Structure 1
Amino acid sequence: MDATTLRIARHVAAAEFRRLPEQAIHECRRRIIDSVACAAAAYREPFCATIRTFAARYAGTPAARMWGSGERTSIEMAAFANGTMLRYQDYSDTHLGKSNGHPSDMIGGLVALAEAFHLGGEDLVTAIVVAYEVYCSLCDSTALASRGIDQGTCAAAGSAAGAARLLGLGETQAGEAISLALSSSLQLYNVRTGDLSDWKGCAGPNGARNGVFAALLAREGVTGPSAVVEGKGGLRDVAGELDWRVGAGEMPLIVGTHLKFHPVCYHGQAAVDAALTLRDRISGEDIVAIESIEAIEVQTYEAALRAMGGDPTRWAPTNRETADHSLPYTIAVALLNGRLVSADYERERLADPRTLRLMERIRVGCSAELTNAFPAHSRSRIAIRLKDGTTYSHLQNDPKGSAANPLTDAELESKFLELYRPWSDGPAARRTLDLLWSVDQLASVAQLVDAFCHAPDA
């Protein structure tokens, strides 16, 4: 086992709930709450129903349940189906580093494994914190996208680590789990380019599925490559020089991940905030209607331009996956409607003539100033020029929900109660939320899954 894999494996095997900082435990609770809410919101989406139907064909022993419906399937398929639901609306959390990704993609798989093996809340929280540490530290160590590697690779490694912790594997088997996951799960960044496909929302959950499977294999004594990071043909050969270190900070990395206030790619959060601020300013002064805009100039950072404004498809999105990665579309909708919600990505709304006309007036560029501030800060500046020559400008320094401008617990609860409606509302939703706030005190994770497996039919 190479030194990097061994270092990570030792961190995994040594992790204990009693040694976690209270702040990390609280932030883990918040990530679980956010993830369950995102999954509930997407439950009735036709694509998510298709994935559940597919996964239901693969029942196994031990089994886990698909959230909402309560149907039983294999652990790996539950990881995939639940992860896809929580990822589908692009409302889940984000980590920003040399690579960017959505570590909550792993939560569905870790919950499934904990449920199937009758484990408790402390075990789940510890495993999630460990999984985030491995995922986020890999993001921080190297720019994977520049080598054509997708963030789903991080989900495979992180989930393998978290699953190894749940299964109580020692450092040798934990290392094998990570080796098996990495050697079989290098995903292509092509999934994030051009017209985006259904796989955009599945790639991370599929990585999580692979990571859980790798840990189950390691538990049975299956070995992986002996030098998966540092050896010939290993991750370092593919991704370039990397210094992958876990547990190096004073606080677990989960604490620095970002929640979302709007259902849009994280790189669009600050721009949507800026657009809403300008809309309020213009409308509030009763100067002019939104329709009187002459031009909109958007300045952002390089990663945001590449993901959301650097391709012609972003000015002509034909599906949800491309639209929620389009700065022109999301900014135009926010300006016209005064908000951005998941329903704005329904296919019939993508062809709205007013939105399309306003998108034609939007230009997107990046500046060295904003690029140099990233990833510590995700900043976007929007200038709106009216037809009478008046110009309004706003720089959004950190979007609402970022680690630097976090959602309060009350704001997170509001997001949960709004998104949870497809499963239940009122007192039942409040009871589930209270249960989630005490997830680490549960004797069995199955109690948690019980709470949100009584959804009405899709």
Structure 2
Amino acid sequence: MDATLLHLAHYAVDTDFDQLPPGAAHECERRLVDSVACAAGAFREPLCETLRAFTRHYAGVPPARVWGTGAATSMEMAAFANGTMVRFLDYSDTWLGRGAGHPSDMIPALVAVAEAHRASGRALVAAIVVAYELYCGLCEAAGAERRLDQATFAAVGAAAGTGRLLSLDEARMANALALALAPNLHLYNVRTGTLSDWKGCAGPNGARNGVFAALLACEGVTGPTAPIEGKGGLFDLVGEFELRPGAGTRPLLMDTHLKLHPVCYHGQSAIDAALALRSAVPLEQVVDIHVETYEAAYRAMGSDSSKWAPATRETADHSLPYTVAMALREGRLSSAAYGKDRLNDALTKHLMDKVRVTASDELTRGYPGKVQTRVTLSSADGSVHSHLQEWPKGHAAQPLCDNELEQKFTSLHEAWGDAVATRRTLEAIWSVDQLADVTRLVDALCLNR
């Protein structure tokens, strides 16, 4: 095995709950709260319903359950269907750095494995921290040039977390990582142009494949010995890098960001800025809306014509013109803004025609330390109103407090139950590190709807 792969395997095997620094378990629980909220909010979306129906074709021994219904399926398919529910609304957590991604795509996969193998809550927390460390570390090391999609890193992270839950030794853990990496080099193309259903499925599918890789390794199946440093390996594809998981003062999970608005993370600060300006001038008087942002946000949300004519929800929630226009019109940005009937609204299109998006060298230099966007409204009377948002609410530098996170949970959990059910589910998540068996957590997520 190559040295980098062995180092990753050693970290994944060697890290357990008792080694986590103060606050790490609570931050993990916060991301569980956020992920379950997102899944509940997306439960009735047609794509999520389609994937839940698809899980009926698969059985597993031991089984895992589909959130929201309790239907039994395989661990891999529970990872995929539940993960897509978490991801669908584009409301889940984000890692920002040289590369970016949504590491919570892996959480449903690890919950499925923990449930199937009746692991403890402490084991689940440790597995999630390990998975995030590899995912976010690979985003930094190998994701900067946008040659690989983040789903690649979900496969590796989920394999590491699953391997922990299965108590793999270092040799089998290294094979699990190799079996996850070699067949799962996902194309970044999934996040360009007009976006399809697969935008929300890609990360959960990577996590599904990471579970499969770890299950194979558990049975003694071997992977390629040098998928990172060897000929034709990851170094050849993206260049050499150094990856030292666990080397920081705290786990990378604690530096991921939560979302206040259901939009691509690169649009969060733009929505905050637009809302701050909404009362400054009547919309009918606005003649120009200038959105200045950093290069990564410009590329993702304002660099091509599809962002001014989004035909799908997936394109709309990656469109600065659309989301800024909706925030200005309605005083908020909600998931309802992406309904098919809303995408063709004439008044919204008229407002979008006034939106200009540019990349600012100044704001780009501040990224990723700051996630800045400036929105400027010019009025017919010649007045100009501008607001610079340095960090969006929910960023690690300006985090949602637990009460604000619970408010997000409560608003999204309505699809799954009343106030009593919401409180019961929250209590189960907040105490996950005290559970002897993760099955009790999943019970709270699988009441018949």
Give the TM-score range, shorter chain: over 0.9
Matched, 1:405 2:398: yes
Alpha-carbon distance, 1:241 to partner: 2.2
Matched, 1:184 2:183: yes
Aligned positions of 1:318-357 closer than 5 A: 318-357=311-350
Larger displacement relative to structure 2 (367-376 or 297-306): 367-376
In structure 2, the residue matched to 1:285 is: none
* CA deviation string 1:297-329 (max 9, x = no partner): 111011100000011000000110000000000
* CA deviation string 1:125-162 (max 9, x = no partner): 00000000000011111335x25210000100100110
Alpha-carbon distance, 1:270 to partner: 0.3
User: Are the equivalent residues in 1 in contact too, given 2:109–2:158 (CA < 8 A)?
Assistant: yes
In structure 2, the residue matched to 1:386 is: 379
Question: Helix, strand or coil for the counterpart of 1:383?
Answer: strand
In structure 2, the residue matched to 1:170 is: 169
Question: Helix, strand or coil for the counterpart of 2:153?
Answer: helix
Matched, 1:118 2:118: yes
* CA deviation string 1:101-130 (max 9, x = no partner): 000000010000000001110010000000
Matched, 1:453 2:446: yes
User: Structure 2: which 5+ residue stretches go unaligned?
Assistant: none
For residues 242 and 302 of structure 1, what CA distance do their matches in structure 2 show?
23
Matched, 1:362 2:355: yes
- Residue identity in the other structure for 1:233: G
For residues 154 and 176 of structure 1, what CA distance do their matches in structure 2 show?
16
2:437 pairs, out of 432, 444, 447, with: 444
Alpha-carbon distance, 1:22 to partner: 2.4
For residues 236 and 312 of structure 1, what CA distance do their matches in structure 2 show?
34
Alpha-carbon distance, 1:16 to partner: 1.2
Aligned positions of 1:263-282 closer than 5 A: 263-280=262-279, 282=280
User: Structure 1: which 5+ residue stretches go unaligned?
Assistant: 283-287
* CA deviation string 1:373-430 (max 9, x = no partner): 1111111001100111100000000000000110000000000011111101211111
Q: Calculate the aligned-residue CA RMSD, in Å.
A: 0.8
TM-score using structure 1 length: 0.97
* CA deviation string 1:237-290 (max 9, x = no partner): 11122222211100000000000000000000000000000113x1xxxxx421
User: Are the equivalent residues in 2 in contact too, given 1:270–1:399 (CA < 8 A)?
Assistant: yes
User: Are the equivalent residues in 2 in contact too, given 1:300–1:379 (CA < 8 A)?
Assistant: yes
User: Are the equivalent residues in 2 in contact too, given 1:422–1:455 (CA < 8 A)?
Assistant: no
User: Are the equivalent residues in 1 in contact too, given 2:11–2:246 (CA < 8 A)?
Assistant: yes
User: Are the equivalent residues in 1 in contact too, given 2:131–2:158 (CA < 8 A)?
Assistant: yes
For residues 198 and 245 of structure 1, what CA distance do their matches in structure 2 show?
34
Alpha-carbon distance, 1:23 to partner: 1.2
Matched, 1:91 2:84: no
In structure 1, the residue matched to 2:81 is: 81
Alpha-carbon distance, 1:455 to partner: 4.0
In structure 2, the residue matched to 1:253 is: 252
Structure 2 CA distance for partners of 1:53 and 1:20, relative to 1, 3 Å:
same
For residues 351 and 74 of structure 2, what CA distance do their matches in structure 1 show?
47
Structure 2 CA distance for partners of 1:400 and 1:66, relative to 1, 3 Å:
same
For residues 90 and 143 of structure 2, what CA distance do their matches in structure 1 show?
22
User: Are the equivalent residues in 1 in contact too, given 2:143–2:150 (CA < 8 A)?
Assistant: no
In structure 1, the residue matched to 2:368 is: 375
Question: Helix, strand or coil for the counterpart of 1:381?
Answer: strand
Question: Helix, strand or coil for the counterpart of 1:363?
Answer: strand
For residues 430 and 409 of structure 2, what CA distance do their matches in structure 1 show?
12
1:419 pairs, out of 398, 412, 422, with: 412
- Residue identity in the other structure for 2:114: A
User: Are the equivalent residues in 1 in contact too, given 2:101–2:150 (CA < 8 A)?
Assistant: yes
User: Are the equivalent residues in 2 in contact too, given 1:100–1:139 (CA < 8 A)?
Assistant: yes
For residues 69 and 311 of structure 1, what CA distance do their matches in structure 2 show?
40
For residues 116 and 427 of structure 2, what CA distance do their matches in structure 1 show?
23
For residues 369 and 339 of structure 1, what CA distance do their matches in structure 2 show?
28
Q: Which structure 1 residue ranges, 4+ long, deviate > 6 Å from structure 2?
A: none
Aligned positions of 1:153-302 closer than 5 A: 153-280=152-279, 282=280, 288-302=281-295
